[in-house]
Amino acid sequence: MESSVISKLSQSKFVNLILASALVCSVLSLILFGIIGNARLSEISYNYGILYKSGRHMLKNTNPYNNDSDNIYAYPPNFSFFLVPLALLNFGVSKYCLALLNIVSILSIVWISCLTVVKRSPENGRLKCLLLASFIIGNPFTAHNVWMGQTSLILLASMMGAWHFSHQNRWLLTGILLGISSFKPQLSLLLFVWFFLERNWKILVTSLVTFFLMSYYPLITQGPIEMMRLWINDGLGSYLTVDVNVLGSQHVVGVSSMLNSAGIDVPSLKVVGVLLTVLLWVFRKQFRPYDILGILFGISLTFVSGHDYDYICLIPLIASLLSYTEDRPNLWLWLPSLIFLLIVPQRFIRILSIPVLNHWRTLVVFALGILVILSSLYHSKLEESEQNLVL
């Protein structure tokens, strides 16, 4: 049913004009709110200022993790690959270089997402690709990441690239991109666990080599033992004590944070996230391969760790649901509703002064993940039944 309706819509000049206009509007939105900063109360790259300061410390051969208590730098040593060259520039130029790097990441995310959607929905792929590209570019999480000078878009692009090329048996490129993604270990952890379970040692060894090659500067100036000691003791040790990074904070996502905000003191559920990944791997043949990365991100942002700006990493999950509308038209009711709930500005909820409500997105992510899991299981069984009929 969906196929015929969408096919007719895709042939309509009016519909194509609307979709093209939506894409243009999303680009304008990114420029206005992510770069120019309309209606923003802070300066562009205010978060990047912390990273830049740490990069300047590296260039002076002083401890990059020795910032003041309100400006904690906690990235692992391999992030110096990006940070040292950027810190060589003055801040005014450097912040726009990072913005350019984020824009390149956005284009990569759009490219990989569209390849996946077109492959899975060949008849209606162009229409869905325009819809998805408009969302990726124009959603508030993208603009917020660019404006803050955050790095989640770079992380997402590298992980999507690693997953995409792993299915083309390009292990070297996969390993390099996986190694790059390790600069945010709280989000890339489960993908490392997945390749470990796959016993894909070539990819893992390549990622380890990439990590150390990216850490060239602290390796030279501090040595391998000292650079890791500084990161673990001074970086992570300080980072986990800051108010905006503790469980229960309105900016920390996941079940643990939601429960802590409700006054239910629970520990971190990272182990649960790892166990669910192992369970997913055990039953991996029951799922379609291109759904796995989105499910892993859903598990990460529900049980492992993340901040609200990291919700940009749900794009693979949303892309999977969009693809499944091909055979499950009822998803057209669920998908827009859940996306709307996801992007509602938090400031509208904060005015209610009920801390646990600030974590409503955790339930939205859970719903998105369940829908993708059920859809993937259903279509895998359907494909298996069709193959058995042929045989």
Angstrom distance (rounded) from CA 122 to CA 307: 35
| Paired tokens of 366 | 């859970």
Phi, psi torsion values for 307, nearest 5 degrees: -115, 170
pLDDT at 210 over 60: yes
pLDDT score recorded for residue 6: 57
Least confident segment among 26-30, 183-187, 242-246, 318-322:
242-246
Q: Of 145-154, 348-357, 374-383, give the range with the top mean pLDDT.
A: 145-154
pLDDT at 2 over 60: no
Give pLDDT tens digits for 247-297.
888 889 999 999 999 999 888 899 999 999 999 999 999 999 999 999 999
Least confident segment among 13-22, 29-38, 293-302, 316-325:
13-22
- What amino acid occupies position 318? I
pTM of the shown model: 0.93
Angstrom distance (rounded) from CA 46 to CA 44: 6
Least confident segment among 44-53, 109-118, 156-165:
44-53
In the DSSP assignment, the letter for residue 139 is: S
Give how far the C-alpha of residue 196 lies from the chain's centroid of Cα atoms, to the nearest Å: 21
In the DSSP assignment, the letter for residue 307 is: B
pLDDT at 42 over 60: yes
Over the chain, what is the mean pLDDT? 90
Longest Cα–Cα distance of the chain, Å, equals: 68
Give pLDDT tens digits for 330-344.
888 899 999 999 999
Sequence-separated (6 or more) residues with CB below 8 Å from residue 138: 22, 25, 26, 27, 29, 30
